Amino acid sequence: MVSAEHEALVAALVAAGVRTPVDLPSDDALAAMRAAELAEPPVVVDGVVIESIDRGGVPCLQVTAPGSDARRAVIYFHGGGYLWMTPQSHVAVLVALSDACGAPCVGAHYRRAPEAPFPAAVEDAVAVYRATVDAGVGAGAITLAGDSAGGGLVIATLLAARDDGLPMPGAALCFSPWTDLAVTGSSADTADDPIVGGPALRSMAAAYLHGADATTPLASPLYADLTGLPPMLIQVGTREALLDDARRFATLAVTAGVDVTYIEHADVIHMWIVFGPELPESQRAFELAGAFSRAHAGQSDAGDAGSATTNARGASPR
């Protein structure tokens, strides 16, 4: 059963009308939104070091919670349909993961559509990962993480890095990953999700793809060969439009021999960790993520990922 805090958040989100619109903003409106992002004051969190850095030519926000091991790293890709949000909009998530994982968390400000369509985000994500390895952090001590589009970008980064011959990170954390930009999962149109629905997903996919095939593996990892990917924790809410994206991808990954831990949070909405990082459901998700990262990428000299297959519920995803 979900918490009273979760249900209060849902009521507030519905009342505020935050559901992602189907129609994209005009060029002028988009420019105004981008300008407003740049004008946002830096976020300050007591006891936490937050700094702007460059990583592989990509602007990033690095968050370091007390006790973080600088020999390890979490690289985070924010959600927002490849069009919206920034690392600054996800500071609470970056702080929570830095604390839970015991490592600095670097939020990548990758290029976004429609100004920079696919594969710009993937190129930037790989550049951040490559630069982190080049900076001396062992690949096995790195955790890639992301929510929604950022969760899909985690997987795309793994695929591109693998194909480029880069070593795999120690672990991957995917919160509600968007793995199918063809939007064929039934939950996209049937879920009672106050954040996003099928029509908006299709609109954002079209803007990001800019004419590319929606089943291109680096855009939609559901259609990829997943052989050789590192241990992966996938968490999703059952009230989400992207529930089927997570379920189908987890099944595919298990079949490919990937070490997958798959967890469904009953009746939880999309991007719950972003809109309600203080919720009991979010705190539980961060706790699980931290334990997974420490187990698989918890040593500065951690080796390459293994290939055993597990599932948190003791069975393959449905």
Task: Read off the DSSP letter of residue 309.
Answer: -
The CATH number given to whatever domain includes residue 142 is: 3.40.50.1820
Q: Which pLDDT belongs to residue 299?
A: 75
pTM (predicted TM-score) = 0.94
* CA-based nearest residue to 97, from 76, 79, 80: 76
Q: Which pLDDT belongs to residue 298?
A: 86
Is residue 240 part of the annotated active site? The answer reads: yes
204 inside domain: yes
* CA-based nearest residue to 187, from 239, 241, 237: 241
99 inside domain: yes
- Helix (H), strand (E) at residue 134: helix 120-134
Catalytic residue among 78, 90, 109, 148: 148
23, two tokens: 């129609």
166 inside domain: yes
Helix (H, G, I), strand (E, B) or coil at 176: coil
135 inside domain: yes
The whole domain housing 143 covers: 4-16+48-297
43 inside domain: no
307 inside domain: no
Residue by residue, what is the 3-state secondary structure of 234-293?
EEEECCCCCHHHHHHHHHHHHHCCCCEEEEEECCCCCCHHHHCCCCHHHHHHHHHHHHHH
119, two tokens: 């594969």
310 inside domain: no
Is residue 270 part of the annotated active site? The answer reads: yes
pLDDT tens, residue order, the chain (318 aa): 899 999 999 999 999 999 999 999 999 999 999 999 988 998 999 999 999 999 999 999 999 999 999 999 999 999 999 999 999 999 999 999 999 999 999 999 999 999 999 999 999 999 999 999 999 999 999 999 999 999 999 999 999 999 999 999 999 999 999 999 999 999 999 999 999 999 999 999 999 999 999 999 999 999 999 999 999 999 999 999 999 999 999 999 999 999 999 999 999 999 999 999 999 999 999 999 999 999 999 875 544 433 322 333 333 454
Catalytic residue among 90, 109, 270, 296: 270
Catalytic residue among 68, 123, 240, 282: 240
306 inside domain: no
- Give the count of domains, the chain: 1
